[in-house]
Amino acid sequence: MAKEALDDDRYRAPALDKGLDILELLAGVDGGLTQAEIAKRMDRNANEHYRMLDRLVKRGYVTRIDGDRYALSLKLFGLAHMHAPVRRLVSYAMPLMRELAEKSRQANHLVVFDRGAAVVIAQQEAPGYWGLSLRLGAHIDMIDTGSGHILLAFRSPEERAVMLREHEDNGGRADKSPEFDAKLEAVRARGYEIMPSLQTASVTNLSVPVIGVDGRAIAALTTPYVPIRNAEAPDMEATIALLLETSQEISKAAGLEIG
């Protein structure tokens, strides 16, 4: 036996390999698989995977749907996006967010989905002596905020269902009504969200997606719009246009757009 083969065999971790095999399998299917289907595709006995699936569910990497089906959660996605890719995204976004604040005279922040919550990964204060901004790392609601609506609207129905399930598991409220789905589809068709803040009076959330090459929102760029009694400050419509322009520039700068 070659030395490379001996080394490979010496450092094998069968349990880890089995868990990774399950994750890779589930990543390539839509709608999840039953325990028996997983065993069949991996040419193993179903009982071999029961404990591994149980641990993956308890750790949040796999979720159960429709009672007996297992599907990949978005935890791996969240972990990846809260590591180096997020730092790179922030580094590209911050100069553009500062420029947006100067042009709009409003604060703005960047939000990503992470393990059941919408998380603020970057924020830019308004250029004047007052303004409304969210702290870095703040977890905001998926259902009652413009950022949450954007992150949900620009995902497939299957991904949206998983995100809402994780949000609910994380202590949030998950609206599964047809009316909420219709609202998200309207946001997607419009290309942005505009809604009164449910947390702060006299504030209107203006939110747009930062789109990746696959057409999904990897982040939401939001301005908590506060009316300014200043003729030089852009109105709400102009601020939405600035937000859309900035989100496209972030995608371009970070290499997220196609072409």
How confident is the model over 50-68, as pLDDT tens digits?
788 888 888 888 888 877 8
Average pLDDT over residues 41-57: 81
At 138-173, the pLDDT tens digits run: 888 889 899 999 999 999 888 888 888 888 887 777
Looking at 46, 73, 100, the residue that finishes a domain is 73
Do both 29 and 82 map to the same domain?
A: no
Mean pLDDT check: name the lowest of 93-102, 119-128, 145-154, 171-180.
Answer: 171-180
In angstroms, the CA 211 to CA 15 distance is 37
Taking alpha carbons only, the member of 138, 137, 177, 136 closest to residue 160 is 177
In angstroms, the CA 33 to CA 245 distance is 41
Do both 106 and 182 map to the same domain?
A: yes
Do both 30 and 59 map to the same domain?
A: yes
Q: What is the pTM of this model?
A: 0.68
Three-class secondary structure of residue 86 per DSSP: helix
Do both 64 and 90 map to the same domain?
A: no
Residue 228 has pLDDT above 60, yes or no: yes
Concatenated DSSP letters of 5-16: HHHHHHT--HHH
pLDDT confidence tier of residue 258, bands split at 50, 70 and 90 = very low
Do both 60 and 158 map to the same domain?
A: no
CB 198 within 8 A of CB 204: no
Do both 128 and 67 map to the same domain?
A: no
Q: Which residues contact 139 (CB under 8 A, 6 or more apart)?
A: 117, 118, 119
Looking at 25, 42, 73, the residue that finishes a domain is 73
**Total structural domains within the chain:** 2
Residue 160's domain comprises 78-253
User: Has residue 185 been placed in a domain?
Assistant: yes
| Residue listed under structure tokens 């990543």 | 27
User: Has residue 258 been placed in a domain?
Assistant: no
What is the structure's pLDDT at 11?
A: 65
Q: Higher model confidence: residue 82 or residue 176? A: 176
What is the structure's pLDDT at 257?
A: 56
Average pLDDT over residues 3-22: 69
Residue % of the chain over a pLDDT of 70: 86
